[in-house]
Amino acid sequence: MIRPQAHPMEARFHLVYPGFTLKVDLCLPEKGITALFGHSGSGKTTLLRCFAGLNRAPGGYLVVDGTCWQDDAAGIFLPTHRRPLGLVFQEASLFPHLTVRKNLEYGMKRADNRAGEGFDACIDLLGIRPLLDRNPASLSGGERQRVAVARALLTRPRLLLMDEPLAALDLKRKQEILPYLEKLHDELDIPVLYVSHAPDEVARLADHLVLMEGGRALASGPLMETLARADLPPAFADDAGVVWEANVAAIEDDGLTRLEFPGGKLYVSQQGKTPGKRLRCRIHAKDVSLALATHNDISILNILEASVRSVVPLETPGHVMVQLKLRGDEQAPLLLARITQRSCAALDIVPGRVVMAQIKAVALLG
């Protein structure tokens, strides 16, 4: 549906407002979902608007798919209407007097897509074929957002920008639309910039992560590697945790689901997942405790052998973040544990020490 890309995105923006400055220098993947993640006021939406050309940063530079959209040093600035991009905001902003089909046709006209290239694939990807003859007022919030995404894709963009598209939805509607956004993740061959302040949403959808704070990109890299850093900025310490990819191996007789990954296995409550399905799971650093030996007289089922890679003091008095590498497989994932300095000293937790990581809770992300 969308032609493949061959070049990473390069972006440099420096924008000064009263009381706020955005200054970033990024090289982002040529496909997949890049999440711009941070708390309110961190500069996520301001940065997204720079990509769209809605905010012009003097001296800015932006290359998408090998094409320069902005280079102020060379006098180049493509206005928004000349940038081949799709925009999806918190509100779907569909034309209320048009049917879903007519709203989609509007998107095709904007791209001069007279043949309707990709129409059937797009509506099937987002599951909106039954909605084509309905008016926006009769749709749920999740349905409206799916139509908005389809309309954006039918403009044949080379970049899709999504500014907190789930923020206006309740939990039920978010759960309704998330599987469709995951399909975008799997099937689109264009880059997607996805703004969010919801950690689980980012962990479920993103391939690449940019952590924003105070108008700066404090970290940028592959999602799983970036989340596993022990030296994350203080503003993200409370949400610290890792994301693993695992396969559903079996549904046990006692109702537990067994997940397998390089280096080990996890047991979680039965989730109705089909054996063989690949999914992501999130493990909060605060839900991991450490021991020097295996104990059989505790209720925690998930106990994995790991070696300590680093220990980083946190701004929270008396706490440290421990980065661990699971043992038994070179491809085994990293793990974070947030423990007290007292426990760290008592167990002599230092780089190289072998410990047993006890995982108290696992969040499945679908």
The string of pLDDT tens digits covering residues 101-123 is: 999 988 788 666 555 568 898 99
Distance CA 113, CA 97 (A): 22
**Mean pLDDT, residues 25-39:** 94
pLDDT band of 184, cuts 50, 70, 90: confident
**Mean pLDDT, residues 284-305:** 92
pLDDT at 271 over 80: no
Domain 9-227 has CATH 1.10.620.20: no
The string of pLDDT tens digits covering residues 136-154 is: 999 999 999 999 999 999 9
Q: Which two tokens stand for residue 93?
A: 């902003």
CB 13 within 8 A of CB 50: yes
pTM (2 decimals)? 0.89
**pLDDT of res. 2:** 43
Going from N- to C-terminal start, the domains of the chain cover 9-227, 279-364
Distance CA 168, CA 150 (A): 18
CB 315 within 8 A of CB 237: yes
**pLDDT of res. 275:** 87
Q: Which two tokens stand for residue 169?
A: 């939805």
Q: 353 or 91, which is more confident?
A: 353
**Share above pLDDT 90 across residues of the chain, in percent, rounded to a whole number:** 64
**Mean pLDDT, residues 186-213:** 92
Q: 269 or 45, which is more confident?
A: 45
Question: Residue 63 forms beta bridges with which residues?
Answer: 10, 68
Of 5-19, 24-38, 79-93, 118-132, minimum mean pLDDT range:
5-19
Torsion of CA 156, 167, 231, 360, to 10 degrees: -120
**pLDDT of res. 6:** 54
| Residues, the chain | 366
> Element (H or E) spanning 49, and its range?
helix 44-52
**pLDDT of res. 344:** 97
Q: Where are the beta strands (DSSP E) in 176-295?
A: 191-196, 208-213, 216-222, 241-251, 256-261, 264-269, 278-284, 288-291
**pLDDT of res. 3:** 45
**Mean pLDDT, residues 329-333:** 90
Q: Compute the half-sphere exposure of residue 121: CA atoms within 13 Å on the CB side of its CA.
A: 12
Exposure of 360 by Cβ count < 10 A (0-12 exposed, 13-18 middle, 19+ buried)?
middle
**pLDDT of res. 366:** 63
**Own/partner pairs, 179-186, CB within 8 angstroms, 24+ separation:** 179/366, 180/125, 180/126, 180/127, 180/146, 180/149, 181/149, 181/205, 182/366, 183/125, 183/126, 184/33, 184/125, 184/149, 185/32, 185/33
Question: Residue 12 forms beta bridges with which residues?
Answer: 25, 61
Q: What is the mean pLDDT of the chain?
A: 90
pLDDT at 291 over 80: yes
Nearest to 123 by CA among 4, 87, 33, 134: 134
pLDDT band of 284, cuts 50, 70, 90: very high
CATH class of 279-364: mainly beta
CA dist 102 → 89, 110, 172, 285 (Å): 19, 12, 27, 48
